[in-house]
Amino acid sequence: MTSGTIIESVKDAIAVASTIIESTEKEVSWLVPAPLLVFAARFSLLEKSRVLIQKGGHARGITEISPPYVEVVRELIDIGTGVRHVEQYTGAFMVVGDSRQSISTIGVNVADHSLDGKIIAFWSADPDYAAYLLSSFDRTWAEATDAQERIQELGESGPSHL
Amino acid sequence: MLRAEWPTAQEVVDLIVTLAALHRKGCGPSILGTMDAERKARYLERSDTYLTKHGNVAQSNKATFIYGLPHLVMMEDEAEFTTRLISFGLNEKEAQLYLHLLRYGPKTPSPLAKSLKTYREDVHRTLTSLIEKGMVRPSLDSPTIYAAVELDAALNAAVKQQESELLEMEARKRELQELAIQERFRPSDEVTTFKIIKSIKELVGLSTPLAAAAKNEIILVTPEEIITIASLFGILEEVKSLIGRGGSFRMLTDVSYGGIESTKEALDIGEDVRHLDSYQGVYFAVVDRKVCLHGINMDIKHISLSQPLAILYADDPTYAEYLIATFEMLWQQAVPAAQRIEELQKQGPPPA
């Protein structure tokens, strides 16, 4: 296993995720808390995903979709990202590009969702480590709900949500 | 459909920036007049917008988004407003508190906490963050009264902050990319091993010699079930021996009523054990700051040797450092196991 780098702030984690998406050619997979998706949108990560998809790449992501984040999820769906919803996820959060580059963090770490928040994450370019993360991602993906279905559920629970 | 009616967050930001610039110049003309033809057409098509008789842009359907004078952004629904504020970089709590102050006027933290059904400390934290963002202003009186900054000024502040954050983020990205070229992703000098542990049997088979070979320190974050397994398969004996040799063993777990006995057993042999309230099924261990075991989403349903698992084994010092940093953060949040046991015993067994 080759060495990696420890990332200690949400800002650096977003910058790393941006680098990963930018350098991805085939597929990016992410599993992140919904508040971080808003930062991703603000820092053009969605635009980078759109470029990847336009070039023939794939993007898929898992998050916990609640009313304040429906819009950003819709944006992701609109650009062609496959999105699924997971309820009360407790495992590792991650962004993995081309089954090689990854940034991941242990779930309990991400209590502070502010941009200035502290985080302890691991940035690696090891394909074996990426494969390990992806095996967990795929398990969660298989159990997750389609985002459209979830958004519909939220809509049914009250129009004010949308 | 919402998509058909609303501009995107980015378009709102663009509009606010344009409006703020015009406002600074003392103008209040049509928003559409500032857009190029293509963008104007797209905006009109997407948001069903029209020019009011005052030359301002408004949205006709359902009045969900009315964009009138430069300082006026009105949204019919509180949840929608909160969502918009979130897209401006506020978190949910900040958005709700700001909206509350905007709607009901200046307040001290106590009534705010009551209205928002939260703790005073929580309100203080959120207010501090909003002050830093330029969206709330504290009074100089005592007790301090907090007022929402006027919406357009607040959004201007948010946009400015986002602009500076974007620049900062680009700088960070460049630094990190440099770091990647210079330092990272070079294979480490020593050969390291990586493999996946796929069952409890394999985990036990690996953990016993690891504990026996430990020289100085083991740290562990684990579900209670693993403590029982460690006890059943003699791993505790090896840990006892490590402690006897002067080594240290620290463990974080979620101590429940049913796990009191196994936790006591661990404490009896000299393990330093803490209870973590926010424990969420995490499992990892680091031996002598090098050998790591890390499981994502551990879900042990039965204590049996054939129970399937997916645990990463690595003898990588950097990965160990990452896990240790996480451990130390969690250790600070945890309470001593003895204290937790005392609390559980006072509460008595949970209802069946």
Q: Name the token pair of A60.
A: 């898929």
CA distance A64 to chain B (A): 14
Lowest-pLDDT range, A35-39, B56-60, B189-193, B345-349? B56-60
Q: Nearest residue on chain B to A137, judged by CA atoms? A: B296
CA nearest neighbour of B83 among A147, A160, A86, A85: A160
CA nearest neighbour of A45 among A64, A21, A69, A27: A21
In a domain, A26, yes or no: yes
In a domain, A159, yes or no: no
**Rounded-to-5 percentages of helix, strand, coil across chain B:** 50, 15, 30
**Facing A106 at nearest CB: one of B9, B316, B326:** B326
For the ranges A71-75, B147-151, B158-162, the maximum mean pLDDT occurs at: A71-75
| Domains in chain A, number | 1
- What's the whole-number average pLDDT of chain A? 87
Taking CB atoms and an 8 Å limit, are B187 and A14 in contact across chains? no
In a domain, A63, yes or no: yes
Taking CB atoms and an 8 Å limit, are A108 and B79 in contact across chains? no
**Facing B9 at nearest CB: one of A41, A67, A121:** A41
Mean pLDDT of B246-272: 90
Domain over B194-347 is classified CATH 3.30.870.10? yes
In a domain, A146, yes or no: yes
Phi/psi of residue B198, each to 5°? -110, -5
Q: Nearest residue on chain A to B85, judged by CA atoms? A: A68
Place A104 in a pLDDT band, splitting at 50, 70 and 90: very high
| Interface probe, candidates B93, B299, B322, B323, chain A, greatest A C-beta count within 10 A | B322
Residue B12's Cα: distance from chain center in Å?
A: 26
CA distance B262 to chain A (A): 24
In a domain, A133, yes or no: yes
Please name the amino acid found at residue B248: S
Per the CB < 8 A criterion, the answer to whether B34 and B28 are in contact is no
**Facing B188 at nearest CB: one of A3, A6, A70:** A3
Coil vs helix vs strand at A30:
strand
Tokens 């309470």 belong to residue = B335
| Interface probe, candidates B166, B173, B189, chain A, greatest A C-beta count within 10 A | B173
Lowest-pLDDT range, A153-162, B231-240, B284-293? A153-162
Coil vs helix vs strand at B90:
coil
Residues 6+ apart with CB under 8 A from B257: B344, B347, B349, B350
| CATH code of A110's domain | 3.30.870.10
- B16 pLDDT higher than 80: no
Residues of chain B positioned with their CB less than 8 A from the CB of A87: none
Taking CB atoms and an 8 Å limit, are A122 and B322 in contact across chains? yes
Angle at B100 between CA A109 and CA B20, to 5 degrees: 90
Q: Where in chain B is the domain with CATH 3.30.870.10?
A: 194-347
Q: Name the token pair of A41.
A: 């949108």
Per the CB < 8 A criterion, the answer to whether A132 and B310 are in contact is yes
**Facing B173 at nearest CB: one of A15, A122, A133:** A15
Residues of chain B positioned with their CB less than 8 A from the CB of A78: 3
**Facing B318 at nearest CB: one of A4, A70, A90:** A4
Residues of chain B positioned with their CB less than 8 A from the CB of A130: none
DSSP states of B14-47 as a string?
Answer: HHHHHHHHHHHTT----SGGGS-HHHHHHHHHHH
Query: Which ipTM value was assigned to this complex?
Result: 0.86
Per the CB < 8 A criterion, the answer to whether B88 and B8 are in contact is no
Per the CB < 8 A criterion, the answer to whether A57 and A28 are in contact is yes
| Interface probe, candidates A120, A128, A137, A143, chain B, greatest B C-beta count within 10 A | A120
Per the CB < 8 A criterion, the answer to whether A133 and A105 are in contact is no
- What's the whole-number average pLDDT of chain B? 74
In a domain, A150, yes or no: yes
First to last CA, chain B: 47
Phi/psi of residue B117, each to 5°? 55, 55
pLDDT tens per residue across span B315-331: 888 899 999 999 998 89
DSSP states of B147-188 as a string?
Answer: EEPPHHHHHHHHHHHHHHHHHHHHHHHHHHHHHHHHTTTPPP
